[in-house]
Structure 1
Amino acid sequence: MKFRVLGPVEIETVEGCRATPRALKLRSLLAYLCVYRGETVSSSRLTEAIWSGAPPRTASTALHVYVSKLRKHLDGLGLDASSVIATQPPGYRLNLGECVLDVSELDVLLTTAAELRQRGCQEKASQILGRAISLWRGRALEDLRDLPVFESIGRQLDERLSFAQEQRFEIELKLGNHQKIVGELYSLVDDRPTWENLHGYLMLALYRGGRTAEALSVFDRIRRNLVVELGIEPAPRLQRLHHAVLTHDPSLGAHNADVLVGVGG
């Protein structure tokens, strides 16, 4: 059984069928317990999350009803629901047992990638980061993002995607695989028009592929976006990269990894 929150909340059975509760309150309850898996979550915290800080007078009773309904749903999937969602004062605790949660997989993959990088195993680290990135199926908690608590939690989870992407691009550039990542970078900068790090990686990848004019146009585009939308200039490090591209600075060579550290600020 798989539980997923790196995208819309989802349960997948061992047969590969989707078995996610349709009711918003049940998905919210499940998602919150998944995010704080292994931790006792108080009833007051669950109430705050599920009712967006404005619970009705009957919230305490209603919460018990929703827990019961969620347990019944999990029972129907062949799980020991009372063990999976254990009552533990002052609230409830999610114990996944043999079930898989994508966020737990993410934790393991990011830790493994960091260890591989420290040992100098860059190619393997990049592969592991690619697996971590593939866990996302859209924005984290995408179907719950209209609720303030889940918007905040979703942003925090999505920051981990950004971290993994940046780490992987940095490794690929160090390995000389600049042409391999240009298309992916172009797609991401279209979605994130003010993300300076991504634009820096794209500029460097284009420059190393002999596409200097395109690299300069990428800088022009993000500078325009930042000035128009935020009224600010690009960070000094991105400006230094722009100058280095203009002057064909030897430090941008494929064998120089130092230039990649913190590109874009």
Structure 2
Amino acid sequence: MKIQILGPLEVKCDKGEEVTPRPLKLRSLLAALCVTSGRPVTASHLIHVLWSDEPPRTASTALQVYVSKLRKHFHSAGIDPSVLATTPAGYVFRSGGYVMDRDGFDSLVAKARSAVGVGRAEEAAGAFSEALSLWSGPALADLRDVPALRDYALQMDERRNSAYEQWLELEIGLGRHSMLTSELYRLIAEKPIWENLHFFLMIALYRSGRISECLDVYNRIRRILIEELGMEPSARLQNLHHAVLSREPWLESSAAPLAAVS
């Protein structure tokens, strides 16, 4: 069984057929069980996931019913229902009974960061790119209205953002700025006040000889920040803007340590 949470929740059997349960309660239960990395989940936590702060008086019995329904769903999809086990500590997906995209993402990010640590930028950029390709949207995109799952989903989004920034810096350092502009414009359309994206886009445009566009990017994010948040861009962005206006030599070098710009 393959479980995807880096986007809408999706379950696929070993043959590749999608077998995601449709009822919201079953999907919420499944998500709460699979994000715990094989650790038992207590009944009280699952009740909180399913009913937030207003559980019914029969919540314990109802939870058992939903667990039974999830097992029956697995069985009807050709998945061994014993993958969902009951233990004294709570309910747990048995280790080895499923593969999750989050685990692949974490493994690739760890590989990328290890490569960065020993100066293998090309390898690191490739691993980050592969990790980011596992995402199909915000984590648990279809379950953001479940309060007990929202915080976890946002944590995963932040881990994705961090990987994006490290990948972008590596790609620019490798001299691939011309290839990044369309991806950066796409990301900015999704997250219009993520300042570091504008920073990387300005660098990419400058090194591609598109200086007027580079300045337009700064003016646009400055206007948005002032109008929406009542604040000026970060010191890092302001310093980059001044460097562009002065055509400082370091801007031309892909070897320049972007992280040091502050």
TM bin, normalised by shorter chain, reads over 0.9
Structure 1 CA distance for aligned equivalents of residues 177 and 38 of structure 2: 41
Offset of 1:142 from its aligned partner?
Answer: 0.9
Is residue 113–residue 124 contact of structure 2 (8 Å, CA) maintained in 1? yes
Match of 1:253 in 2: 252
Offset of 1:213 from its aligned partner?
Answer: 0.8
Structure 1 CA distance for aligned equivalents of residues 183 and 85 of structure 2: 43
Match of 1:74 in 2: 74
CA-atom RMSD in angstroms: 1.4
Offset of 1:196 from its aligned partner?
Answer: 0.5
Superposed structure 1 runs of 4+ greater than 4 Å apart: none
Match of 1:231 in 2: 230
Is residue 6–residue 136 contact of structure 1 (8 Å, CA) maintained in 2? yes
Structure 2 CA distance for aligned equivalents of residues 207 and 55 of structure 1: 56
The amino acid across from 1:200 in the alignment is F
- The alignment of Structure 1 onto Structure 2 pairs a total of residues equal to 262
SS at structure 2 position matched to 1:78: coil
Match of 1:20 in 2: 20
Match of 2:43 in 1: 43
Match of 1:216 in 2: 215
| Cα pair distance change 1:38/1:201, threshold 3 Å | same
Is residue 74–residue 81 contact of structure 2 (8 Å, CA) maintained in 1? yes
In structure 2, list runs of 5 or more residues that go unmatched: none
| Cα pair distance change 1:63/1:262, threshold 3 Å | farther
SS at structure 1 position matched to 2:41: strand
Worse overlay, 106-115 or 46-55: 46-55
Is residue 42–residue 89 contact of structure 1 (8 Å, CA) maintained in 2? no
Offset of 1:78 from its aligned partner?
Answer: 3.0
Match of 2:7 in 1: 7
TM-score (norm 2): 0.96
| Cα pair distance change 1:255/1:90, threshold 3 Å | closer
Offset of 1:108 from its aligned partner?
Answer: 0.6
Give per-residue Cα distances to partners, 1:20-71, cap 9 Å, x unaligned.
Answer: 0011111001101111121111111111111122211111111011111111
Percent of aligned positions that are identical? 50
| Cα pair distance change 1:58/1:98, threshold 3 Å | closer
